[in-house]
Amino acid sequence: MYSELQQIDIDHHFTPFSDNKELADNGSRVITHAKGVYIYDENGNKLLDAMAGLWCVNLGYGRQELVDVATAQMTELPYYNLFFKTTHAPAAKLAEKITSLAPAHMNKVFFTGSGSEANDTVFRMVRRFWDLEGKPSKKTFISRENAYHGSTVVGASLGGMGYMHEQGDLPIAGVEHIDQPYYFKEGDGLTPEAFGIKAAQSLEAKILELGEENIAAFIAEPFQGAGGVIVPPTTYWPEIKRILAKYDILLVVDEVISGFGRTGEWFASQYYDLTPDLMPIAKGLSSGYLPIGGVIVGDRVATTLIEKGGDFNHGFTYSGHPVAASVALKNIELLEAEGVVERVKNDISPYLQKRWLELAEHPIVGETRGLGMVAGLELVKDKTTKERIAPECKAGGVCRDYSMANGLIMRPCGDTMIISPPLVISHAEVDELIEKAKKTLDQTAEFYNLL
Ligand SMILES: *Cc1c(COP(=O)(O)O)cnc(C)c1O
């Protein structure tokens, strides 16, 4: 009944973000290989990966150039650490390349193995910064409900996911959460513009409540990813900027999903005209081919940490791992050489968004939204009342299962279906994605007798 691999997996593998007991009933899908925007499973199914893995395979699967550079680096220097006054070419050159693409005031990169470790690094850097500035009371981070910043203790604490907090007494002390700019769910009666201002002003209310002298930083994703591709109203970021300018609080823009071209700019901070003090990165940095993350550090924080800080007692065994760093560097060089980011902006993102908008016509879709190469839609029973189809957001899971059966990977976040395809997806593949999504919506509606 199970394949050999499924059985081994059930017996020995404790899998992340899954109900391991339920998995034992059904077995996991075994992925065998991948090419372009498609992945293949051991039953011979071909699936259009409209999530680019976990938002990361920006260049698509099967790029031999990345394999070759990894092989060469493995041969030359497979590993050496960066602690205690050493470095190597892959880390130094990658840092140079990243900062050449980042906003002009950001000129240093601290490397980590993942996005979660990047946010742990942010946490330590920011607190160290304020200590060195002689303001040790500035310790508290303000984040947002339904944010995602990773799964380590700090990452999950900074995140705003209740289902993560309840497992392990999180968040830790020193993290506070404010409203998210989720218009579809929480906009009741307001215009999107008015709601954007209102959601942003919960930041100012929290600052006044806790006292500016106690607040270290505000951290946010430019658009929320794992929360359900929540794109803030146009008024939101300008109002956040206005508030932050009034108080001396650092801005951390979590670019783990949005970095490396997903918005049609290298970073979403450029898309939204933000001036972050710190930008955690990972995912698209290496197109997911090897694990690597980092924090891009703005001049203000870097100068204090370097000029006044002495040793910074933080780092990871695999910080700037030479093989991962050389693959990341080649990944960025390919994005540049092939004009991938410009193509997102001028060609494939407008096309994807235009076609995704067609899904808004469907009887069980309450809203579609998106920017760059991310998009989401809300499953509803009634377009006007926004009543959900089934209790506990069960319709999202049903929709996902139909989507998989149709050869399309869409991800449910509750009753929001989301996509974040490889940036290199072709027009014909976007057409296939939309056709399969339409069929999936029809089947979901039929399942609930809503057609
Ligand atoms: C995925 C993600 C992270 C965590 O990255 P990992 O590499 O899984 O640790 C952090 N922030 C955002 C916005 C993410 O989407």
Nearest CA residue ID for atom 5, ligand 1: 115
Residue 144, ligand 1, Cβ within 6 A: no
For residue 221 and ligand 1, the question of a CB distance below 6 A is answered with yes
The verdict on 99 and 244 lying in the same domain is: yes
Ligand 1 near 254 CB (within 6 A):
yes
Tell whether ligand 1 has an atom less than 6 A from the beta carbon of residue 150: yes
List helix spans (H) across 13-114. Answer: 20-26, 52-55, 64-76, 89-101
Looking at the domain assignment, is residue 1 inside a domain? no
Residues 139 and 237 in one domain: yes
Q: Is residue 348 part of a domain?
A: yes
What's the rounded Cα separation, in Å, for the pair 356 and 379? 14
What is the count of structural domains for the chain?
2
The answer on 225 and 98 residing in a single domain is yes
Ligand 1 neighbour 378 (Cβ under 6 A): no
Same domain, yes or no, for 57 and 84? no
Of ligand 1's atoms, which has the minimum distance to the CA of residue 147? Answer: 13
Residue 15, Cβ neighbours under 10 Å: how many? 11
Percent of the chain topping pLDDT 90:
98
Q: Which of 153, 154, 256, 269 to mutate to test the pocket of ligand 1 (most atoms within 8 A of CB)?
A: 256
Length reported for the chain: 451
* Domain endpoint, select from 309, 337, 365: 337
Asked which of 282, 315, 337 is the last residue of a domain, the reply is 337
Q: Does residue 40 sit within a domain?
A: yes
- Order of all β-strands in the sheet with 175-178: 106-112, 293-298, 278-281, 250-253, 215-220, 140-144, 175-178
With a 6 Å cutoff on the Cβ, whether 256 touches ligand 1 is yes
Measured in Å, residue 4 CA sits from the centre of ligand 1 at: 32
Q: Are residues 164 and 311 in the same domain?
A: yes
Residues 83 and 189 in one domain: yes
**Centre of ligand 1 from the C-alpha of residue 115, in Å:** 4
What pLDDT, in 10s, does the model give residues 234-276? 999 999 999 999 999 999 999 999 999 999 999 999 999 999 9
- Residue 4: inside a domain, yes or no? no
Q: Is the domain of 158 the same as that of 236?
A: yes
107 and 169 part of one domain: yes
pLDDT attached to residue 26: 86
> How much is the pLDDT for 324?
98
Please identify, by atom number, the ligand 1 atom nearest to the C-alpha of residue 293. Answer: 7
**Contact (CB, 8 A) for 181 and 196:** yes
Whether 158 lines ligand 1, by a CB cut-off of 6 Å, is no
Note whether 163 and 240 are same-domain residues.
Answer: yes
**Location of structure tokens 């973000």:** 17
Last residue of a domain, one of 337, 372, 398: 337
Give 111-148 pLDDT, tens digit per residue. Answer: 999 999 999 999 999 999 999 999 999 999 999 999 99
Q: Are 112 and 295 in contact (CB under 8 A)?
A: yes
How far away, in angstroms, is 421 Cα from ligand 1 center? 17
- Assess if residue 3 is contained within a domain: no
- Ligand 1 centroid to residue 30 C-alpha, Å: 23
Residue 28 within a domain: no
State which ligand 1 atom lies nearest to the alpha carbon of 54. Answer: 1
One digit per residue, pLDDT tens: the chain, 451 residues?
899 999 999 999 999 999 999 988 889 999 999 999 999 999 999 999 999 999 999 999 999 999 999 999 999 999 999 999 999 999 999 999 999 999 999 999 999 999 999 999 999 999 999 999 999 999 999 999 999 999 999 999 999 999 999 999 999 999 999 999 999 999 989 999 999 999 999 999 999 999 999 999 999 999 999 999 999 999 999 999 999 999 999 999 999 999 999 999 999 999 999 999 999 999 999 999 999 999 999 999 999 999 999 999 999 999 999 999 999 999 999 999 999 999 999 999 999 999 999 999 999 999 999 999 999 999 999 999 999 999 999 999 999 999 999 999 999 999 999 999 999 999 999 999 999 999 999 999 999 999 8
Q: What is the CATH number of the domain that holds 107?
A: 3.40.640.10
- Report cis status (omega within 30 of 0) of the bond before 192: no
Q: State the Cα–Cα distance between residues 17 and 50, nearest whole angstrom.
A: 19
In this prediction the pTM is 0.98
Q: What is the dihedral of CA 427, 429, 430, 434, to 10 degrees?
A: 140
Write out the residue range of the structural domain in which residue 247 sits.
77-337
Domain check: are 98 and 180 in the same one?
Answer: yes
Ligand 1 pocket, residue 180 CB under 6 Å: no
Q: How far is the CA of 164 from the centre of ligand 1 (A)?
A: 14
The CATH number for 406's domain is 3.90.1150.10
The alpha carbon of 262 and the centre of ligand 1 are apart by a number of angstroms equal to 15
Residue whose Cα lies nearest atom 6 of ligand 1: it is 115
Containing H/E element for 157? Answer: helix 153-158
Q: Does 10 fall in a domain?
A: no
Q: Ligand 1 centre from 300 Cα, in Å? A: 25
Question: Is 389's C-beta closer than 6 angstroms to any atom of ligand 1?
Answer: no
